[in-house]
Amino acid sequence: MGAPFTMKPLPYAEDALSPVINAQTIGFHYGKHHTTYLNTLNKLLENDPLKDSSLEEIIKATAGSSEAAKKTIFNNAAQVWNHDFYWQCLKPNGGGKPTGRIADMIKDAFGDYDKFKADFAQTCVTQFGSGWGWLCLEGGKLTLRKTANAENPLHMDGVKPLLTIDVWEHAYYLDYQNRRPDHVNAVIDKLLNWEFAEKNLG
């Protein structure tokens, strides 16, 4: 439950998302970036009263703090949670139009799938600098949000994250360089794990 936290295994092989996201990107992203957030968090918690709390509790306890030490804990804890969540949002041969409950909710909130896709891509592309694009559930309706750096909807009242796309450059630079829109559209078309989103509806 509490620290030290351990890396959750990737839900697929490092090369399983190729050619949209290649093994080298996953190797760095999971093996270096994500792992570094986790190791840094464990180190920060060694002598901290939050060390026995769950990741979610740590995020909620430190979100919005003006204290430098708490901000640093928040950043690393949220990035561990965000990446654990993100890996599950992707799957080989995923993406495209969903079916079932989510499909009806997309129709409800966006009119049709194409409008949803354009809006989600735009949300991800217009996050200035590092951050995340999110599909969320708010008041029974699908919404889109973007957050900067480590921020996430987890501690926002009444906002439930369903899917996310990492738009930090480390997520796409080796495969797409500066072409974030191409990366985002390829993820939406070919990798989104709609079963995971459906499960998150609860």
Residue nearest to Fe ion as judged by C-beta position: 166
DSSP 145-199: EEEETT--GGGSTTEEEEEEEE-SGGGTHHHHTT-HHHHHHHHHHHTB-HHHHHH
Smallest distance from Fe ion to CB 106, Å? 26
Q: Which is nearer to Fe ion, 168 or 176 (CB)?
A: 168
Closest contact distance (angstroms) between CB of 120 and Fe ion is 18
Q: With respect to Fe ion, which residue has the nearer C-beta, 151 or 166?
A: 166
Residue with Cβ nearer Fe ion (116 or 196): 196
Exposure of 41 in the CB half-sphere (CA atoms within 13 A): 30
Smallest distance from Fe ion to CB 50, Å: 23
What's the closest the beta carbon of residue 37 comes to Fe ion, in angstroms?
9
Partners of 137 in the beta sheet?
A: 142, 160
Least separation in angstroms between residue 58's CB and Fe ion is: 19
**Minimum distance from CB of 26 to Fe ion (Å)?**
11
Task: Give 116 or 132: the residue with its C-beta nearer to Fe ion.
Answer: 132
> Which is nearer to Fe ion, 106 or 186 (by Cβ)?
186
By CB under 5 A, name the binding residues for Fe ion.
166, 168
- Bond before 92 cis per omega within 30 degrees: no
Q: Which residues contact 47 (CB under 8 A, 6 or more apart)?
A: none
* Whole-number Å distance between alpha carbons of 152 and 21: 23
Of the candidates 7, 11, 56, 16, which has an alpha carbon nearest to the alpha carbon of residue 34? 7
Nearest residue (CB) to Fe ion, 166 versus 175: 166
Query: Virtual CA dihedral for 86, 37, 172, 121, nearest 10 degrees?
Result: 40
Residue 33's H or E segment, with its range, is none
